[in-house]
Amino acid sequence: MKPIYAFEDADSKNRMLLGGKGAGLSEMTRMKLPVSPGFTITTEVCNKYYENKERLPKNLMVEVSKNISKIEKKTGKKWNSNTNPLLVSVRSGAAKSMPGMMDTILNLGLNDQTVIGLTKKTNNPRFAWDSYRRFIQLFGKVVFGVKDTKFNNVLKAAKKKQGTEDDSELDVDSLKHIVTKYKKICKNHTKRKFPTRPNEQLQLAIEAVFKSWMGERAVLYREKNKISKDIANGTAVNVQTMVFGNMGNDSATGVVFTRNETDGTNEISGDYLTNAQGEDVVAGARTGKDISKLRNEMPKSYDELRKACKKLETHFREVQDIEFTIEQGKFYLLQTRTAKMTAFAWCKTSVDFVKEKFVSKDKALARIPAEQLEELLHPIIDKKEVKKFKSLTKGINAAPGAANGIAVFDVKRAVAMSDANPKLKIILVRDETKPEDVPAFFPSKGILTSEGGKSSHAALVARSMGKPCVVGCSELKVDYERKKCVANGTTVREGESITIDGSSGNVFVGEVPTIKPKIPIEWPILLSWAQKVKRLGIRANADTPDDAKRARKYGAEGIGLCRTERMFNAADRQRTFVEMIMAEDVGKLKEKLETEENKFERKQLESKINLEERKRRKVLEKLGRLMKNDFAQILKAMEGYKVTIRLLDPPLHEFLPSSEKLRHMKPKKRKEFRQRVNELKEVNPMMGHRGVRLGITYPDIYETQIRAVFDATAKLVRKKINAKPQIMIPQVGSIEELNHIKSIYDNVKSDMEKKYKIKFKINFGTMLEVVRACLTSNELAKTAEFFSFGTNDLTQAVFSFSREDAESKFLEEYKKKEILETSPFQSIDESGVGDLMDIGISRGRKIKSDLEIGICGEHGGDPDSIKFCHTADISYVSASPYRIPVAIIAAAQAAISKK
Ligand code: PEP
Ligand code: MG
């Protein structure tokens, strides 16, 4: 194992070993670009350090010294010199970039001697002493863990004493005084003298960078961004000769993108600061100037920068994000990496790259981070404005897009406030949400919860509705009583503005401006390329006509799941649905009638049955009409494409008021509701009275739904609209269940054909979401004309995990303890759930070789799961309308990767 590579000697392809930064520096050195000399300590050393109980390997510092000597030769500078001292930066860098998560130390090598050397060399004592005080502060913070506030207090006092407000105006005497004080702070903290020998400083700095790999911030970042060991295993340490952007007005430092990272236009974008060090830019202490200004300010350097951008982009065939420094007119590159861009910019640059004959169409599709394309359909935070706003907290980015509005903590109040003023922008803030809170989702622009993970109720519902959502803000304390929430010492009361960014998890105080989404003009071009290569069909999970239209606009080829229960979520519809549930179950009354002998009692019962039946029929007819209209609009929006309509699935009690709401009801109504709630109560609702089991016990509900599908279809057929509905039954576990519902379907069909004199072709199929359904799919295939995997329920069943409980109680810990790498509710668990799916597919297709088999669980929009579906010979994936671009590109990428 070679522990250290000089930039010019390293194999720059080996990012796992060198980290992204090290690989980039070595590649740029090989390309003869202006990079100051340095070396990389490999990620293997980092792993050794941890294996060794956090001790550096024995000979490491000997090797480091040899490499420092090499730098001395190249630069002519000397380590620990009082005439021309060599100073270095010590930076972290893992295979996957983790911006701001690990530590960096600048100006290392300074002490009371070398600061004199630096003064002599630069003829600039102010610069030398300013560098020294910056070094002690950064070193003290990173290596010794001294709080920044201690240093800042000294700085503040010195400024006050000198009568200035600006750091850059501090004179040499003040800076010398600060250095003495800073050293004292460190000494008090560590109970030893501040280290003066550069070798010792360097050793401590290397150890600190390795330590930061396991720092809380970094561990959390890896967890949230799914950075597993095979993606990045440890950090490398880059030790590089310091170059200074703060050596006067002929010096500068900046960050640029080789193309505009927001809209993808082919021009350099970014900003820079004259006479500043990199950390001033990162810390946002000073506002940068637009890079175009550098052309006039330092034309020679600007030209070098432009050429370097072109050279690097051409070399890597990818947009680059570049850090540079100009030291007294001399241009240096500090870093290059693949740029992080908006989804919009990814689309534009992919199409441009092909036009410029830069990459092939396949490469252009493959380079897009599919997952990010969900952004295309949501408003995003205006990056230019965000700096002006205070951060409130950060949680888990559960549903993308940004939303601003007033905080409201109560479900009823959110609905009432929006009824009174429909233009009101509301952010619903809760500890967690439950099904009965869904009416408040409709008027809310976004959802924020202090608890829960990516599969919590709030996250799932918000995602399916396309509303931004941030969950799991553990620092956020919600106080329902006082109508306020508090995080990090800041209080937000009802009616005060907040902004949530569901793409990053950030929450801000105030209304951060957002940018409205628009379809990039390049999208249809990408879509046509993707359609040519992908095998998988792409359908949408859409429950409303608006969702259906949105999905079509982006290229959905049908609807794979229309959850009919979602049609009753809006507050007014929910009332009708509840009326239906409350209409007394006449089955029991009829049983009673059979045994009742008293004539008078019989009469009474008969008239009650009559009344209840009429009442129930009336509500069902009303629901039928509502559904017919919705179905007709959805089918019309999807003209020519299949629309899979799933009959009612959730248990009825989910629609009844919570005990909290019951408490606020009038006594008579409360009694009625309480009785029904008690009747419908279940021990384990997930495995209880739901799906096909409801259809068997309440056949009139399924019959009403089936009729509504036929009615809607007839309406469209008459208008010569090519409607292609299919009816799907949830939770089926046996052929007997399926056949039972099939006979209801057959009866309705024959009725309808007589009524409308139309020969309907409405396919009848089943979901595969119960383990037994997968195992007996050969039997189900005899009746079913199509299958669709409900991987949400199937995952629950295979793991015996209840999704909600798993997310809120133990999944995070499972991931932390590496028992599970990712949540199986996010990405298909290939070895368990995937295997069962393979069985379901092969047994079903033995009976009908061309059986259409889709997938409509959350996984249908997840790129890794889509890859699995491509290989498993699934016919199509169905994803939320907002994830259609993700699914299309991921399906194309799956096909390209198998070429
Ligand atoms: C599923 O179980 O995967 C599914 C799509 O059904 P739901 O999420 O509505 O239970
Ligand atoms: Mg299901």
- Identify the band that residue 208 occupies on the pLDDT scale cut at 50, 70 and 90: very high
DSSP, res 686: G
Residue with tokens 């907002």: 882
Split at pLDDT 50, 70, 90, the class of 686 is confident
Output the pLDDT for position 701: 94
- Residue 794 CA, closest ligand 1 atom number: 2
Q: Which of 13-27, 45-59, 149-163, 653-667 has the lowest mean pLDDT?
A: 653-667
CA distances from 285 to 51, 140, 723, 800 (A): 39, 20, 60, 52
Distance 402 CA to ligand 2 centre (A): 29
Residues with CB under 5 A from ligand 2 (ion): 769, 790, 793
Atom 10 in ligand 1: residue holding the nearest Cα:
793
Ligand 1 centre from 768 Cα, in Å? 10
As a 3-state breakdown, the chain gives helix, strand, coil percent values, each rounded to 5, of 50, 15, 30
CA distances from 13 to 22, 25, 309, 465, 892 (A): 10, 11, 20, 43, 26
Mutating to test ligand 1, I would choose from 463, 464, 856, 883 the residue with most ligand atoms within 8 A of its C-beta, which is 856
The number of the ligand 1 atom at minimal distance from the alpha carbon of 793 is 2
Segment 154-179 mean pLDDT: 90
The confidence score (pLDDT) of residue 270 equals: 87
Quote the pLDDT of residue 741.
98
Q: Are strands 484-487 and 490-493 parallel, antiparallel or unpaired?
A: antiparallel
Cα–Cα distance, 409 to 394 (Å, whole number): 18
Please check whether residue 840 is in contact with residue 464, taking contact to mean a CB–CB distance below 8 angstroms: no
pTM above 0.85, yes or no: no
Cβ(791) – ligand 1 distance below 6 Å:
yes
Q: Which residue has the higher pLDDT, 608 or 736?
A: 736
Could you read off the pLDDT of 639-655 as tens digits, one per residue? 999 999 999 999 998 88
User: In the structure encoding, which two tokens stand for residue 424, read together?
Assistant: 């009101």
Residue found under tokens 């109970």: 191
Does any ligand 1 atom lie closer than 6 A to the CB of residue 864? no
CB 129 within 8 A of CB 137: no
The lowest-confidence range among 166-170, 222-226, 484-488, 626-630 is 222-226
Ligand 1 atom at minimum distance from 796 CA: 2
Residue 237 in this model has a pLDDT that exceeds 90: yes
* CA 792 / ligand 1 centre spacing (Å): 5
Give backbone dihedrals phi and psi of 491, rounded to 5 degrees, phi first: -105, 135
The total number of residues shown for the chain amounts to 899
Question: Is residue 287 very low, low, confident or very high in pLDDT (cuts 50, 70, 90)?
Answer: low
SS3 203: helix
Task: Give CB contacts under 8 A, 24+ apart, made by 114-122.
Answer: 114/80, 114/81, 114/82, 114/85, 114/87, 114/198, 116/82, 117/81, 117/82, 117/83, 117/84, 117/85, 118/85, 118/87, 120/82, 120/83, 120/84, 121/83, 121/84, 121/85, 122/247
Q: Which residue has the tokens 């390209």?
A: 896
Q: Could you please report the per-residue DSSP string of 742-808? A: HHHHHHHHHHHHHHH------EEEEEE-SHHHHHTHHHHHHH-SEEEE-HHHHHHHHHT--HHHIII
Residue 341 has pLDDT above 90, yes or no: no
Q: Is the CB of 792 under 6 A from ligand 1?
A: yes
Tokens of residue 710, six digits: 């036929």
Mean pLDDT of the chain: 92
Whose C-alpha lies nearest to ligand 1, atom 8? 792
The answer to whether the CB of 878 is under 6 A from ligand 1 is no
Bridge partners, 541 (sequence order) = 561
Cα–Cα distance for residue pair 595/878, rounded to 1 Å: 51
> 100 falls in which pLDDT band (50, 70, 90)?
low
Residue of the CA atom closest to atom 1 of ligand 1: 790
**Tokens standing for 399?**
């549903």
For the cut 80, the answer to whether the pLDDT of residue 584 exceeds it is: no
Which positions are annotated as active-site residues?
457, 856
Check pocket membership of 222 for ligand 1, CB cut-off 6 A: no
Cα 660 to the center of its chain, rounded Å: 33
Regarding the beta carbon of 543 and ligand 1, being less than 6 Å apart is answered no
Q: Is 474 helix (H, G, I), strand (E, B) or coil?
A: coil
- Percent of residues, the chain, with pLDDT higher than 70: 98
- Any idea which of 190-204, 280-294, 525-539 has the lowest mean pLDDT? 280-294
Instruction: Say what the pLDDT of residue 224 is.
Output: 67
DSSP class of 427: E
Quick one: pLDDT at residue 282? 54
Contacts of 702 (CB under 8 A, 6+ apart): 647, 648, 694, 695, 741, 744
Q: What distance lies between CA 752 and its chain's CA centroid?
A: 46
pLDDT for the residue numbered 822 = 87
* Residue 216: predicted pLDDT: 80
Q: Is 125 in the pocket of ligand 1 (CB under 6 A)?
A: no
- Condensed to tens digits (0 to 9), the pLDDT of residues 366-396 reads 999 999 898 888 898 988 888 889 999 998 8
Residue 731 Cα, ligand 1 centroid: separation in angstroms? 9
Mean pLDDT confidence for 325-332: 96
pLDDT category at 809 given cuts 50, 70, 90 is confident
Residue 164 — left, alpha, or beta (φ > 0 → left; ψ -120 to 50 → alpha)?
beta
What band does 460 get if pLDDT is binned at 50, 70 and 90?
confident
* Bridge partners (DSSP) listed for residue 215: none
Number of C-beta neighbours around residue 469 at 10 A:
33
- pLDDT bin (cut points 50, 70, 90) of residue 762 is very high
Is the CB of residue 649 below 6 angstroms from any atom belonging to ligand 1? yes
Name the residue with higher pLDDT: 101 or 271: 271
Q: Is the pLDDT of residue 462 over 80?
A: yes
Of the given ranges (8-22, 265-279, 621-635), which has the lowest mean pLDDT?
A: 265-279
Continuous H helices in 498-559:
523-533, 545-553
Give the closest residue to 445 by CA, choosing from 490, 378, 351.
378
Contacts of 170 (CB under 8 A, 6+ apart): 126, 130, 158, 159, 162, 164, 178
Q: Match 């390049």 to its residue by tokens.
A: 522
Q: Which atom of ligand 1 is nearest to the CA of 788?
A: 5
Ligand 2 centroid to 769 CA: how many Å?
Answer: 6
Nearest-CA residue for atom 4 of ligand 1: 790
342 touches 522 (CB < 8 A) = no
> Does 31 score more than 60 pLDDT?
yes
What is the structure's pLDDT at 455?
Answer: 60
Ligand 1 contacts CB of residue 561 (under 6 A): yes
Contact 496, 409 (CB under 8 A): no
What is the arithmetic mean of pLDDT over 108-121? 96
Task: Please identify which residue in the block is written with the tokens 């998988």.
Answer: 536
- 137/105 Cα distance (integer angstroms): 10
DSSP bridge pairs for 78: 85
Pairing of strands 786-789, 763-768: parallel
Q: Given the structure tokens 């959350």, which residue do they identify?
A: 858
Average of per-residue pLDDT across 770-774: 98
